Amino acid sequence: MVEQETPLKELLAKSSPPQSISGHTGEVLLRVEQMRKILGCVIPQEDWELLKKAALYHDMGKASTPFQKSIRGIRSLEDFAIPHNYLSTAFLPKDAEELLVALVAFHHWREFPELKSEKLRRAYEDLKCMLSLLQKDMAHLVDSVALESYSVWLMRLRFLRKNIYDRVRQFRLPLDESLKIKNGEFSYKRFVLLLGLLNRADHSASAGVDAEKPPLDKYAGALRRFEELGVKDPWQVRVLSDEQKSGKNGILSASTGMGKTEFALLWAGKDKLLYTLPMRASTNAMFQRFRRMFGRDSVGLLHSESLGLLLREAPDTDDVFHLHDTARQLSFNITVSTADQLFTSVLRYRGFERIYATLATSRVVVDEIQAYSPRTLAIIVKGLREIEEMGGRWLVITATVPGFLLEEGYVQPCWVEKRVLPNIRHRIRKVNHDLMDAAEMVRKLSEKYKKVLVIFNTVKRAQEFYRRLDGLNRMLIHSRFTWRDRALKESEVMGNFEGVLISTQVVEVSLDIDFDVLLTDLAPYDVLIQRMGRVWRRRSRGDYDADDPNVYVFRGELNDITGKGRVYERVLVERAWDFLEDGFLSEEEKSRRTEEFYSSDNLKNSNYMESFDQAYRELNKIIFDSRGQAQEVFRDIYSVEVIPEVLLDREVGDAPFINRLGISPNETLREVLDRSKDFADGRKMRLFFMNLIKEFVVQVPSYALSNVRAYPLSEITGNPFHKGIKVANIPYDEELGVNSLGGNDESVFI
């Protein structure tokens, strides 16, 4: 920064591009009105009026010398800088209700200023000096702008500190808690909802996108889909004709391929829909499906790599950035998201109110709930309760419902509907040997069947078995390939691949594939059912009635197949063996046995139940400062992003975005990284460059770097934003991925 004392002629709220305080405020007010028109009676009219007032005053505190110098890149010699959200409360009328004061003060949760310091008085005197500029700037938005007395402002700050800041940030308040004010109290739930809506208006204005997109008729979209499929009397329509189910919180348990997604669309109607799934791959597939139904620009995608996917689809179309920003602001009427993007808000990180306000004004679908770890499941279940308390509505659609959730009252739906296909898709054979010794069996099966699927519980076992099948047409997929290599493999598998696919858990819910026969490590019962869903998935004929099994389950040494308890709990794997029987397995039996497997009785004294219970109890005690911390806990994953050092000297070839970045295909990744400053000019170039880097990143467990040379990528690029990615001297090739991480390498990170 450079020191400069040129008198200010305009008050800025934003620097890139420059925007005045009144300009930004006007944009925020427009978005409040957008939300009011579309969301309407979700909140009372008087609350919309209160929200407008909060939007009007929320940024007035930016009329301070330290802020105005900072936003212009001018070094400030003043030492009385105070967050503008607290300064803004000084402009509120003396008779402003306390909820309005709280909304203005806490649209950012920042450290509270010292209330007895000289710094506070100097900040107030500075506001007085800037008042005439602010009055001129805001003249077209408000009749008059005035400062209250210092004593009134100080009294407000003391009230905010004692009754709201200390309580909300130090204690996890129940949503039905009341916050004390002079004239009584106001609802914490109301505060969260209005604060979240204010932040939605503010953030969408800053991003230059709408706060709300117009409603889509999802009911009509589902009916069109039934017509295309030739379904004349869909059971989904009949079920939702019941007033006790239409629009109410509920659970639909139905077999794969029965139309759960169409049911969810009918249930959502014209209301805003947030559709969540556990895996990025399945989220991407659902996003594309909805896009085909409702239009390219009508559906949002939200997960950690969503921008990269959109850019790969249309690298030469700049509106991708606008679509991505609209999705990030949750503005689409349909948003498809990984669950972590929404349910991390249950952990109450700073700014969670924006998500809660969206959940409260939407219909939320949780698909494939059975796929989550017990800790993550506890967070989602808590989230469903709080969505209901905030006034939102939820629907769980799943192949099987973990029985204990209903038995113990963790979820309390208004209704539960079960739909099971009458046919039989699978014939089971239990094999009391290790799958690692079945190479010859797989060779013989590959002569009989075009598509053979082999699933191991650990990456290490899958890699070793792949080596044993040398000479066969085979492919290996697991979580330790670079994004680029894995995407290529998944694309081939979902195309016309014929041969042997060796994989880990990554195929259980993320790939829509249909194989002839499955050989699998023993795993918990619900996991086995998920794996069976990749076999005989889309067959037009009726029951599977062949003499030979199409599912082989291998017991093996439990320490090996459970990763010494780090992949699956040993007791659950043992009990799954007892639940399995040789012979045909109907869809109805699958559903019944899975619910029984996850019943309270069967889970008694298991680590699974202990982990769920502990996580659920802890949720009432913890608050996180950052969204990143909350997401780490939600995902229950302890892994790091790594570029294998060997890839630095490989040519980038036909990697995406090289044309936009002006990169030659024969440049090595190291050469591209060395000139990262060439791509630092402008947001779009930085994002293209970052997503190019992501093509060469692989996720590995954090312990894998304990005995290898590893250093932050920022040491090469000189960009501190890249320090979260490591470069490590670990072996990697396109066939096997990352391998040989050491003798303790038993975990699978999906």
pLDDT in tens, 517-537: 999 999 999 899 989 988 887
Q: Give the helix/strand (H/E) hosting 519.
A: strand 517-521
Of all residues in the chain, what percent carry a pLDDT higher than 90? 62
Q: What are phi and psi for residue 280, nearest 5 degrees?
A: -60, -40
Q: What is the rounded distance in angstroms from the CA atom of residue 62 to the CA atom of residue 577? A: 65
* Contact by Cβ (8 Å): 562, 568: yes
Structural tokens at position 285: 């597939």
What pLDDT does 750 receive?
Answer: 35
Sign of CA dihedral 309, 313, 317, 323: negative
DSSP conformation class of 113:
P
Distance CA 481, CA 491 (A): 14
pLDDT band at 1 (very low <50, low <70, confident <90, very high): very low
Q: In terms of DSSP bridges, do strands 551-554 and 517-521 run parallel, antiparallel, or are they unpaired?
A: parallel
DSSP codes joined into one string, 546-605: -SS-SEEEE---HHHHTTTTTSS-HHHHHHHHHH--SEEEEHHHHHHHHHHHTSHHHHTT
Of 341, 328, 196, nearest to 631 by C-alpha is 341
CA–CA gap between residue 375 and residue 386 (Å, rounded): 17
Averaged over 542-553, what is the pLDDT?
88
Calculate mean pLDDT across residues 156-184: 88
Lowest mean pLDDT among 181-185, 283-287, 419-423, 700-704: 181-185
Token output for 664: 């030659």
What was the pLDDT predicted at 117? 87
Res 741 pLDDT > 60: no
Query: Looking at residue 540, what is its pLDDT?
Result: 56
Q: Is the pLDDT of residue 118 over 80?
A: yes
Mean pLDDT of the chain: 90
Cis check: omega of the bond before 731, within 30 degrees of 0: no
Question: Do residues 391 and 249 touch, judged by C-beta distance below 8 A?
Answer: no
Percent of residues, the chain, with pLDDT higher than 70:
96
203: helix, strand or coil: helix
Position 125 pLDDT exceeds 50: yes
Classify residue 741 by its DSSP letter.
-
Sequence-ordered list of residues with C-beta below 8 angstroms from that of 440, at least 6 positions apart, any chain: none
Structure tokens, 103? 């909304």
385 sits in which H/E element: helix 374-390
Six-digit token pair at 736?
A: 């096997």
Q: Does the pLDDT at position 742 exceed 70?
A: no
Q: State residue 155 phi and psi, 5-degree precision.
A: -65, -40
Q: Confidence class of residue 539 from pLDDT cuts 50, 70 and 90?
A: low
Nearest to 86 by CA among 53, 47, 120, 52: 120
Query: Rounded mean pLDDT of 405-414?
Result: 93
Residue 637: the pLDDT is 53
Q: Quote the pLDDT of residue 6.
A: 55
Token digits for 706?
């304990």
Across 44-58, 176-190, 282-296, 476-490, least confident range: 176-190
The whole-angstrom separation of Cα 10 and Cα 255 is 62
Residue 606 pLDDT level (bands cut at 50, 70, 90): confident
CA 502, CA 510: separation in Å to the nearest integer? Answer: 15
Average pLDDT over residues 662-682: 90
Q: What is the pTM of this model?
A: 0.91
For residue 267, the number of C-alpha atoms closer than 13 Å in the C-beta half-sphere is: 32
pLDDT at 199 (0 to 100): 98
Backbone angles phi, psi at 241, to 5 degrees: -75, -15
Task: Quote the pLDDT of residue 281.
Answer: 81
pLDDT value, residue 745? 46
Structural domains in the chain, sorted by start = 12-206 (1.10.3210), 218-419 (3.40.50.300), 424-604 (3.40.50.300), 637-738 (no CATH)
d(CA 567, CA 474): 25
Looking at residue 121, its pLDDT comes to: 95
Q: Say if residues 105 and 153 touch (Cβ distance below 8 Å).
A: no
Give the strand pairing for 184-187 and 178-181: antiparallel
What pLDDT is attached to residue 326?
96
Strand partners, 20: 12
- C-alpha 290: how far from its chain's center? 18
pLDDT tens, residue by residue, 201-236:
999 999 999 999 999 999 999 999 999 989 999 999
Round to whole Å and give the CA distance between 441 and 500.
12
Average pLDDT over residues 432-459: 95
Secondary-structure breakdown of the chain: helix, strand, coil percentages, each rounded to the nearest 5: 50, 15, 35
- Distance, CA of 251 to CA of 246 (rounded, Å): 12
Which letter, b or e, does each residue of 557-580 get, where b requires 16 or more Cβ atoms within 10 Å of its Cβ?
A: ebebbbbeeebbbbbbbebbeeeb
What's the pLDDT score for residue 747? 41
Q: Where are the beta strands (DSSP E) in 41-117?
A: none
> Tell me, what DSSP letter sits at residue 283?
H
At 351 the three-state DSSP class reads: coil
What average pLDDT does range 681-708 have in this prediction?
A: 86
> pLDDT tens, 12-23?
999 988 999 999
679/437: higher pLDDT? 437
Q: Name beta bridge partners: 714.
A: none
Strands 737-738, 732-733: pairing kind:
antiparallel
Cross-strand partners of 275: 336, 365
Residue 246, pLDDT > 90, answer no
Which pLDDT score is estimated for 26? 98
The Cα–Cα gap between 289 and 308 comes to: 18
pLDDT digits (tens, 9 = 90+) for 308-340: 889 888 877 778 999 999 999 999 999 999 999
pLDDT at 48 > cutoff 90: yes
Average pLDDT in the 8-31 region?
93
